Homo-oligomer: A and B are copies of this chain.
Amino acid sequence: MALSPKAVLETSLYVTDLERAVQFYEGVLGLRKIDDGYFPGGRGAALQVGAERSVLLLFRAEITQQGGELPAHGTAGAGHVAFRVEPEELDEWRKRLREYSVSIEKEFSFGNQPASIYFRDPDGNSLELAVASIWRFER
Chain A residues within CB distance 8 Å of chain B: 2-12, 14, 29-32, 34-35, 38, 46, 48-57, 59, 61, 64-65, 69-86, 89, 92-93, 96, 105-106, 108, 110, 118, 120, 125-126, 128-130, 132, 135-139
Min Cβ gap A86→B in Å is 7
Q: Quick one: given A7-B50, A11-B8, A137-B53, are A79 and B73 in contact (CB under 8 Å)?
A: yes
Does more than half of chain A's interface fall in helix, strand or loop, or is it mixed?
Answer: mixed
New contact pairs (5) apart from A5-B30, A5-B129, CB-CB < 8 Å: A5-B29, A9-B135, A57-B80, A71-B105, A71-B126
Min Cβ gap A113→B in Å is 11
